[in-house]
Amino acid sequence: MQLTGLKDYQKVDEIPIQYGTAGFRTKGSRLKHVIFRMGALAAIRSACQKGATIGVMITASHNPEEDNGVKLVDPMGEMLGPEWEQYATEIANVPDSEVGTALQKLTKNLGVTTLANSRVVFARDTRPSSPILAEALEAGIKAAGAQCQNFGLLTTPQLHYIVRCINSNGEYGKPTEDGYFEKLTEAFVKLRNIRKAKKMKKLETYKACLYLDAANGVGAGKVPILQSKLGELLQINLVNDGSGKLNHECGADFVKVQQKPPTGVNMAPGQRWASLDGDADRIVFYFIGTTDKQFHLLDGDKIATLVAGYLKDLVQATGLSLNLGLVQTAYANGSSTRYITDQLQVPVACVPTGVKHLHHKAQEFDIGVYFEANGHGTAIVSDTSYSSLKKASQDSTVSEEQKEACDLLLSVIDLINQTVGDAISDLLLVEMILAALDWDVEQWNQAYTDLPNRQLKVKVKDRSVIQTTDAERKASFPKDLQKAIDQSVAKYSHGRSFVRPSGTEDIVRVYAEAVSQDAADKLANEVAVLVFKMAGGLGEEPKLH
């Protein structure tokens, strides 16, 4: 394949790069050639999907400002399939002189004869390197002979939404940013009006005021649009609105990992706060207790239980037999899993880290709710369940109450971005549920008490020596590591710990939880030392702080 402009997008180094859980992610300065090549690959992917539109998002989410990344979005707004991750890795790493041949070979093997009908849409976040990378992408798409459309600045979930809208011929919504906000806010307004008509107590006590940390990311620019459409229904007070440094001591990842508020914010007890990450696909909530004056985090697990509990009651009210399930990862707090199983009595599955795994598993349910503890998640509804809801909502043999419940559930579904976790959609969903349940943040938090936990990072020579099994809950290599972890865990009441190589950083992650913070810290440290000793640690041995 002849790629015009290839000479402008040559490799800057020979360090191998891999398409991981979040696509390619590294320093923005290393990515121009990778993204140019991904433009061509997206064109091939489109051809393999009978000309369906493929999305490409340029972002490094919660990573520092100098990093960047790229990921491809499949026709229904899903993550790229695993086989194609492999192709992406191969194409990104071939020498400059072999790019054309490698792409040619791939198209031939896949039976692709033309790229002229391929369509690729793309968007970027607010990083300084993003515009130049978007140019590289456009050049790559055009060099492959495909058509493309640049959507400029979007959140990652907005791009996923747009891709699905285009490929469903508008059935999922209008394929524009306006269409996105229209769909979400119309559903939100409708749901709030239904509640108003029912004179829910909450509408008198519900504080429609949210303090939102936008991580100085791409979400910051979108909140005013949301606000303009919601008016008084929800008042959003924006901090880290884009005027500061992206993800610097703020944002969902900082708040979740550090278990503290963004630096510099002034929180009064009882206020409802939330943080987005840099590309607005994650959200966590938090508050200062009115009595204990402590910081409390409402993370992805708390959102998942709130959403699953609400949906379970609603499904029951429809009278339809739809099976609802919840999907988590090993990072889910043990208390949340117990609460879901024992209290909510909703089946729960555990899968490896990474949205694609959760999404895939959630598809096994009629309604699948999935959340990572870090705040990334959504709910998805199978086509047949959606059709039976539509049918029942218009069926004269169905009782009025059940029809109403079907209508309500259909509006809730419209409020949800089913393509991928979406901080803005999740924000509206949580706000709607809290209002519907007449709960403030403290009541929401009381559903269950998180076990204290700690996450640590360990630098090792080669993180791939750590291998895991059982949805990352057990280490299968190095040989005796799991035995040693088990011995440590056994010493702590409610102890649980696991290790896994990060998919986004060159480190091994350690997670531990136990009955007290002190115990969780000690367990995490013990396990970090085990990793350091048994998996080739670099630098100083981890110490307890």
Rounded to a whole number of angstroms, the minimum distance from the CB of residue 308 to Mg ion is 22
* Token code pair at residue 202: 């909450």
Rounded to a whole number of angstroms, the minimum distance from the CB of residue 502 to ligand 16G is 3
Rounded to a whole number of angstroms, the minimum distance from the CB of residue 24 to Mg ion is 15
Write the CA distances from 410 to 82, 87, 385, 421, integer angstroms. 32, 38, 10, 19
The residue range among 54-62, 287-295, 465-473, 493-501 that interacts with Mg ion, by the rule CB under 5 A, is 54-62
Query: By CB under 5 A, is residue 299 in contact with Mg ion?
Result: no
Residue 113 and residue 145: Cα distance in Å, rounded? 12
* Token code pair at residue 348: 């729960």
Closer to ligand 16G by Cβ: residue 502 or 517: 502
Residue 306 and residue 320: Cα distance in Å, rounded? 21
Write out the binding residues for Mg ion, residues 109-128 only, by CB under 5 A.
Answer: none
Nearest to 125 by CA among 282, 283, 278: 278
Closer to ligand 16G by Cβ: residue 21 or 517: 21
Given ligand 16G, Mg ion, none, residue 440, with its beta carbon under 5 to 8 Å by kind, binds none
Nearest to 461 by CA among 521, 362, 397, 534: 534
* Token code pair at residue 516: 């007290």
Sequence-distant (6+) residues with CB within 8 A of 391 are none
CA 298, 421, 88, 122 torsion-angle sign: negative
Given ligand 16G, Mg ion, none, residue 22, with its beta carbon under 5 to 8 Å by kind, binds ligand 16G
DSSP H stretches of helix in 198-250? 202-205, 223-230
Closer to ligand 16G by Cβ: residue 279 or 407: 279
Closer to ligand 16G by Cβ: residue 374 or 393: 374
Residue 261 and residue 238: Cα distance in Å, rounded? 14
Given Mg ion, ligand 16G, none, residue 509, with its beta carbon under 5 to 8 Å by kind, binds ligand 16G
Given Mg ion, ligand 16G, none, residue 277, with its beta carbon under 5 to 8 Å by kind, binds Mg ion
Given Mg ion, ligand 16G, none, residue 372, with its beta carbon under 5 to 8 Å by kind, binds ligand 16G
Residue 180 and residue 394: Cα distance in Å, rounded? 26
Given ligand 16G, Mg ion, none, residue 182, with its beta carbon under 5 to 8 Å by kind, binds none
Active site (catalytic) residues: 61
Binding site for ligand 16G (CB under 6 A): 21-22, 61, 353-355, 372, 374, 376, 502-505, 509
Rounded to a whole number of angstroms, the minimum distance from the CB of residue 269 to Mg ion is 29
8 Å CB contact between 414 and 187: yes
Query: By CB under 5 A, is residue 378 in contact with Mg ion?
Result: no
Closer to ligand 16G by Cβ: residue 59 or 488: 59
Q: In what order do the strands lie in the sheet with 273-276?
A: 235-239, 209-213, 273-276, 283-288, 295-298
Query: By CB under 5 A, is residue 422 in contact with Mg ion?
Result: no
Given Mg ion, ligand 16G, none, residue 374, with its beta carbon under 5 to 8 Å by kind, binds ligand 16G
8 Å CB contact between 327 and 358: yes
Rounded to a whole number of angstroms, the minimum distance from the CB of residue 44 to Mg ion is 26
Q: What's the length of the chain?
A: 545
* Token code pair at residue 514: 């136990």
Rounded to a whole number of angstroms, the minimum distance from the CB of residue 499 to ligand 16G is 11
Burial of 190 (0-12, 13-18, 19+ CB in 10 A): middle
Closer to ligand 16G by Cβ: residue 22 or 159: 22
Query: By CB under 5 A, is residue 431 in contact with Mg ion?
Result: no
Rounded to a whole number of angstroms, the minimum distance from the CB of residue 298 to ligand 16G is 18
Query: By CB under 5 A, is residue 61 in contact with Mg ion?
Result: yes
Residue 133 and residue 138: Cα distance in Å, rounded? 9
Query: By CB under 5 A, is residue 107 in contact with Mg ion?
Result: no
Residue 414 and residue 188: Cα distance in Å, rounded? 9
Closer to Mg ion by Cβ: residue 279 or 407: 279
8 Å CB contact between 8 and 135: no
Write out the binding residues for Mg ion, residues 248-287 only, by CB under 5 A.
Answer: 277, 279, 281
Residues that bind Mg ion (CB under 5 A): 61, 277, 279, 281
